[in-house]
């Protein structure tokens, strides 16, 4: 488990061009974040690796990109207009609003082993407040004197009530109800409404899946913990269509695939991950099985990736609302059915945060403390940093940069001492630094420095690109 604090991660992100506060020159906008040069590259690398592993390297997967704005009836059919809500509760004294289930989760976490007493005391079957009724959440909040996290005082709480998370906007020039539409709260429905188009154009046979990456928007009651919970975020979702009766087997296969991506591709530490299967009374009404992959953040265990067996709920709902046929004809068994769906869904921005936390390394080296990002070279935002020992030899260093930039994302820097530049590149997570000095250059060689070991190696300039390429694999 990493000992890094959220303060250290936030400072790294803001000092090293990963993440900035949105609209900062105007006093910023709460819970809005802009991704800087290195943050944008890191996020794109994670996204591209996800696409490579789950689309490019599989013969049963496709990629699509549906519109953010959709016909409002999509959200009526999916149940979001009426059912997409969180439990809102107010502190009567401060008038602040909170998610009741999240305050209760913090209470349970603080109680440790004693939390099990709540089950007998309040007649609840589990310790997952999200699955409790609004009345039960209100009862526990009051009788356990749950504190306001901002004032650390116990006050009277209002009754918990549903708060719809959909962002509304208007299309056309008027603001009447007929022009009301929504910013999508998830990317998944764009796949479901295109199911007939995908079948017709791709001629795929079940089982197959469709992947999508895109922005989603949720009017969260209590966003926070930096970029962990935001109102605007990016999702990476897959809807994998399978034959009814084979869904639980397929669900287990996707659990393993997601695990391998985290451990083998992103190199997330296994001790920081755990799989939590939902209990029967915790499952959504449409789900046969749901598993959360949780990560040990500096503020505790929280969901990173959800893998849900959604059965045939979504396709049936859209068939009913649209009056269109979204069934599948199996030519092998000569039968028609509505496929079941397995949905592995992960927030790209949350995965970005996990990657930073997991790779943040504090190391004692030669009586000095060194902080650096031990990122896998595949996802490091800058692959190679090119630096001349002194600025006056930039005329021989710039061609080296151009040579490497043909194949890799590189950066050139000739400001400050070499030691200070190394420290900066390490903190950004750059795996290789290429240092140019006149003496070695005259022998047609440059020095490659490794981020993790800090060791250095002389390499022939003509072989430099291939040398880096092999090590990036």
Instruction: Give tens-digit pLDDT for 192-212.
Output: 999 999 999 998 999 999 999
19 near 381, Cβ under 8 Å? Answer: no
The strand pairing partners of 362, in sequence order, are: 371
The mean pLDDT of the chain is 93
pLDDT at 83 over 90: no
* Token output for 60: 């049963």
- The residue-averaged pLDDT of 164-169 equals 88
Least confident window among 16-20, 82-86, 307-311, 469-473: 82-86
Alpha helix (H) residue ranges in 34-171: 37-51, 72-78, 80-83, 100-111, 117-122, 134-143
Cα–Cα distances (Å) from 209 to 46, 47, 235, 264, 436, in that order, read: 20, 17, 16, 22, 48
CB 440 within 8 A of CB 400: no
What pLDDT is recorded for position 460?
97
Give the residue-averaged pLDDT of 230-238: 96
How large is the average pLDDT for residues 244-254?
A: 97
CATH number belonging to the domain at 6-81+166-358, selected among 3.30.1540.10, 2.60.40.1890, 3.90.1300.10, 3.30.930.10: 3.30.930.10
Question: How do beta strands 368-373 and 360-365 pair?
Answer: antiparallel
Predicted pLDDT of residue 174: 65
C-alpha dihedral sign at 375, 378, 382, 386: positive
First to last CA, the chain: 27
Residue 175's pLDDT is what?
64
Residue 109 has pLDDT above 90, yes or no: no
Instruction: Give the range among 124-133, 275-284, 308-317, 364-373 with minimum mean pLDDT.
Output: 364-373
34-38, 99-103, 153-157, 298-302: least confidently modelled range:
153-157
Q: What is the pLDDT of residue 178?
A: 63
Going by their DSSP bridges, the two strands 410-412 and 384-388 should be labelled as: parallel
In this prediction, residue 82 has a pLDDT band, given cuts at 50, 70 and 90, of confident
Listed by start position, the domains of the chain span: 6-81+166-358, 85-164, 382-472
CA distance 470 to 473: 6
pLDDT at position 365 over 80: no
pTM exceeds 0.75? yes
213 vs 166, higher pLDDT: 213
Tracing tokens 């400050």 back to the chain, one arrives at 416
- Of 181-185, 238-242, 248-252, 353-357, least confident by mean pLDDT is 181-185
55: exposed, middle or buried (Cβ count in 10 Å: 0-12, 13-18, 19+): middle
The mean pLDDT value for 20-28 works out to: 93
Q: How far apart are CA 430 and CA 412, in angstroms?
A: 12
Strands (E), 184-272: 208-217, 232-242
Pick the CATH number of 85-164 from 3.30.40.230, 3.30.540.10, 3.40.190.10, 3.40.50.720: 3.30.40.230
pLDDT grade, residue 84 (50/70/90)? confident
Largest pairwise CA distance in the chain = 80
* C-alpha span between 175 and 171 (Å, rounded): 8
How many other CB atoms sit within 10 Å of the CB of residue 390?
14
Segment holding 312, helix H or strand E: none
The SS3 call for residue 311 is: strand
Q: What CATH number has the domain spanning 382-472?
A: 3.40.50.800
Give the C-alpha separation, 313 to 323, whole Å: 15
- pLDDT tens digits, 404-449: 999 999 999 999 899 999 999 999 999 999 999 999 999 999 999 9
Instruction: Say whether pLDDT at 176 is over 70.
Output: no
The string over 249-284, giving b where at least 16 C-beta atoms fall within 10 Å of a residue's C-beta and e elsewhere, is: ebbeebbebbbebbeebbbbeeebbeeeebeeebbb
If pLDDT is split at 50, 70 and 90, which confidence band does 2 have? low
Q: Which pLDDT score, from 0 to 100, does residue 473 have?
A: 83
Q: d(Cα 272, Cα 82) in Å, to the nearest integer?
A: 36
Contact 383, 431 (CB under 8 A): yes
Residues 6+ apart with CB under 8 A from 122: 136, 139, 140, 143
| C-alpha to C-alpha distance for 1 and 372, rounded to whole angstroms | 17
Q: Is the pLDDT of residue 32 over 90?
A: yes
Distance from chain centroid for Cα 314: 23
Alpha carbons 193 and 165: distance in angstroms, whole number: 21
Instruction: Find the mean pLDDT for residues 259-270.
Output: 97
Q: Pairing between strand 384-388 and 33-35? A: unpaired
Q: How far is Cα 413 from Cα 104, in angstroms, rounded to an integer?
A: 50
Share of the chain above pLDDT 70, in %: 98
Contact 461, 376 (CB under 8 A): no
The sign of the torsion formed by the CA atoms of 126, 128, 132, 137 equals positive
Q: Which two tokens stand for residue 92?
A: 């009567």
Q: What does the alpha-carbon distance between residue 222 and residue 91 come to, in Å, rounded to a whole number?
A: 13
């Amino acid at each position: 488990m990493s000992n890094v604090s959220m303060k250290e991660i936030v400072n790294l992100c803001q000092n090293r061009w990963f993440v900035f506060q949105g609209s900062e020159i105007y006093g910023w906008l709460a819970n809005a974040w802009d991704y800087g040069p290195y943050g944008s590259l890191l996020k794109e690398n994670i996204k591209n690796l996800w696409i490579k592993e789950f689309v490019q390297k599989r013969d049963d997967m496709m990629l699509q990109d549906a519109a953010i704005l959709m016909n409002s009836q999509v959200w009526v059919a999916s149940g979001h207009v009426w059912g997409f809500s969180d439990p809102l509760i107010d502190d009567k004294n401060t008038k602040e609003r909170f998610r009741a289930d999240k305050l209760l989760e913090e209470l349970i976490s603080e109680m440790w082993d004693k939390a099990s007493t709540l089950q007998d005391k309040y007649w609840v079957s589990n310790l997952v407040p999200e699955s409790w009724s609004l009345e039960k959440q209100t009862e526990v909040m009051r009788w356990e004197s749950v504190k306001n996290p901002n004032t650390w005082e116990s006050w009277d709480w209002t009754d918990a009530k549903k708060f719809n998370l959909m962002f509304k906007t208007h299309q056309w020039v008027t603001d009447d109800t007929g022009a009301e539409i929504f910013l999508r709260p998830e990317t998944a429905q764009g796949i479901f409404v295109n199911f007939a188009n995908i079948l017709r154009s791709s001629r795929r046979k079940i089982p197959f899946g469709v992947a999508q990456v895109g922005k989603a928007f949720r009017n969260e009651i209590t966003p926070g913990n930096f970029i962990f919970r935001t109102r605007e975020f990016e999702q990476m979702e897959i809807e994998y269509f399978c034959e009814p009766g084979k869904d639980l087997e397929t669900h287990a296969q996707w659990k393993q695939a997601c695990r391998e991506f985290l451990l083998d591709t992103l190199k997330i530490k296994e001790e920081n991950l755990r799989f939590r299967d939902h209990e029967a009374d915790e499952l959504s009404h449409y789900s046969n099985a749901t598993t959360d992959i949780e990560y040990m953040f500096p503020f505790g265990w929280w969901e990173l990736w959800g893998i849900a067996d959604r059965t045939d709920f979504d396709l049936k709902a859209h068939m009913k609302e649209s009056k269109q046929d979204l069934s599948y004809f199996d030519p092998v068994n000569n039968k028609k059915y509505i496929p079941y769906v397995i949905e592995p869904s992960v927030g790209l921005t949350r995965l970005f945060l996990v990657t930073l936390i997991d790779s943040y390394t504090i190391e004692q080296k030669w009586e000095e403390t060194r902080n650096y990002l031990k990122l896998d070279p595949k996802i490091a935002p800058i692959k190679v940093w090119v630096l001349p020992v002194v600025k006056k030899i930039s005329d021989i260093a710039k061609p080296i940069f151009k040579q490497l930039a043909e194949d890799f994302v590189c950066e050139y820097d000739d400001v400050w001492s070499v030691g200070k530049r190394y420290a900066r590149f390490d903190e950004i997570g750059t795996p290789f630094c290429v240092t140019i000095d006149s003496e070695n250059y005259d022998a047609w060689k440059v020095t490659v420095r490794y981020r993790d070991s800090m060791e250095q190696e002389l390499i022939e300039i003509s072989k430099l690109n291939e040398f880096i390429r092999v090590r990036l694999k």
